[in-house]
Structure 1
Amino acid sequence: MRVFVCLLGAVAACLAMPNVYEMEMAEVEGAINRLQTKEELVHFLTENTSRGPVRLTSFSFKDCGGAGALVNINSLSITPDPVVFPGPLNVATDFKINSPLGQPLKGDLYIAKKVLGKYIKLPCIDNFGSCSYADLCVLLEQVQCPDPIVRIGIDCTCPLKANSYSLPKTEFDVDVSFIPAGDYMARGNITYMGKEGACLELSITLT
């Protein structure tokens, strides 16, 4: 009899687990939808995580552009292994712009963090998170183009010239006080004149 009762309890627990998971996921998604400021979003990401330096322990990229994409990303590497934040980050890449990219250059960014085993989309708040940009060329006009980028022939102004570009290993200082640990996925899409400009997918793990 006791064995039978234990079996019933085990079956009941197994049946209840999916419902508990769904309830927890609903709570997480509801909390994200209620976020109003960038500070609240950062607090949500960093809640229940230890503070201090984090390491980039896993990184992969994919050129998700189709056969007719205006930009082909051939390689992208990040070193050292592991990267420690805050700290220097070395980036090397090789890509080709097949056709000039002018205005308007529309951009869409999707960023998600894994929560309870599922990737949850981070909302766009004050241009932080999963955002859409009507014209990236306007944003480029507001930044100072890094010298390494200028040296390979890109001055951060539109139109971006058609050419093959190669950025050798270049160090960038990642000036952030804290990046929360976790698994992240990001996808950036660029469209120009209704055509697919570029698509890049990144998967990273911070520990």
Structure 2
Amino acid sequence: MLRDGERHVYWCRIQRSSNGQGAAAGGILSLTFTRIDSKISNFKKQSVQVLGFEWENCGKPDAPAVLKTLSVAPDPISIPGKIIAEASGQSAVLLDSPLPLNVTVEKEDCPEPLHSYGLPCRCPFKPGLYSLPQSDFYIPDVELPSWLTNGHYRAQGVLGKQDSELGCLKMVLALHSN
């Protein structure tokens, strides 16, 4: 079971569609994610909600590949369910296959209700007064893959080619399973 603050490592392979066109030529790219540190065996179908989705570019200001806009609705997003998504980006270089994408996903190790009261969960703590009223903490018995339990998540994807960073994107979201 993944404990708060732990990470799993995934390999992402981006491949060109069979029509032979690259991304810059308007072809379709497929993404394949493979977990390389261990296998997940216990799955349980449950509905999940994605809450508070945020994103930002985390690459260098002159990165050759950047996401310009991204909007996802509704908030919260229900899974299973429908979403409305819109995005735009720009690349100053040819993006062809194979093109590695390194993705890091971290679960915040700060349980509720600490977030509800605006309490920080990691150093440094800014000077100030902090107070947590008497609170109940519930730790669920979850049979989802351990990396997909309730919590706040940060994900960072660094796009690179031949030891150079092409772009970087950070996302913040929260999952709530029923």
Q: TM-score, normalised by structure 1?
A: 0.46
Q: Equivalent of 1:91, from 85, 96, 99?
A: 85
Q: Which residue of structure 1 aligns with residue 75 of structure 2?
A: 81
After superposition, give the CA deviation of every residue in 1:71-122 in whole Å (9 maximum; x if it has no partner). 1211111101221111112211111111112344222110111234569xxx
CA 74–31 in structure 1, closer or farther in 2 if over 3 Å, else same: closer
The equivalent residue for 1:125 is none
Instruction: Give the Cα separation in 2 of the matches to 1:202 and 1:191.
Output: 18
Q: Which residue of 1 aligns with 2:175?
A: 206
Could you say which residue in structure 1 is the equivalent of 2:154? 185
The alpha-carbon distance between structure 1 residues 180 and 97, as it changes in their structure 2 partners (threshold 3 A), is same
Q: Is the 8 A contact 1:190 1:196 kept in 2?
A: yes
Specify the code of the residue in structure 2 equivalent to 1:202.
M
Partner of 2:40: 38
- Residues 1:63 and 1:29: Cα distance change in structure 2 (over 3 Å): closer
* CA distance in 1: counterparts of 2:65 and 2:161, whole angstroms: 11
CA spacing shift, 1:68–1:194, aligned 2, 3 Å: farther
Q: Say if 2:69 is the partner of 1:69.
A: no
Distance 1:53 1:103 in 2: 35
SS of match in other structure, 1:81: coil
**Structure 1 vs Structure 2 CA RMSD:** 3.5
Q: 1:38 to 1:65 in 2, by over 3 A?
A: same
Structure-2 change in CA distance of 1:32 and 1:189 (3 Å): closer
What number of residue pairs does the alignment pair up? 115
8 A Cα contact 2:52 2:173, kept in partner: yes
Which blocks of at least 5 consecutive residues in structure 2 are unaligned? 9-36, 112-120, 123-143
The 1:58/1:31 distance shift into structure 2, 3 A limit, reads: closer
- Give the aligned residue type for 1:100: L
Query: Between the two proteins, what is the percent identity of the paired residues?
Result: 22
- Among 100, 105, 110, the residue aligned to 1:106: 100
Which amino acid in the other structure matches residue 76 of structure 1?
Answer: L
CA distance in 2, matches of 1:29, 1:84: 24
**How far apart, in 1, do the equivalents of 2:88 and 2:40 lie?**
33
Higher percent of residues as helix: 1
Q: For 2:163 and 2:106, locate their aligned partners in 1 and report how far apart those are by CA, in whole Å.
A: 26
> What SS class does the counterpart of residue 92 from structure 1 fall into?
strand
Q: Note if 1:196 corresponds to 2:165.
A: yes
CA positional deviation for 1:181 = 2.5
Give the Cα separation in 1 of the matches to 2:152 and 2:96: 34
The answer for unaligned runs of 5 or more in structure 1 is 1-26, 44-50, 120-176
Structure of larger gyration radius: 1
Q: Check whether the contact 1:69–1:195 (CA below 8 A) recurs between aligned residues.
A: no
Aligned 8 A contact 2:48 2:79 in 1: yes
Contact 1:104/1:193 (<8 A) preserved: no
Quote how far apart the aligned CAs of 1:57 are: 2.2
Judged with a 3 Å threshold, the aligned counterparts in structure 2 of structure 1 residues 108 and 70 are, in CA distance, closer, same or farther, namely: same
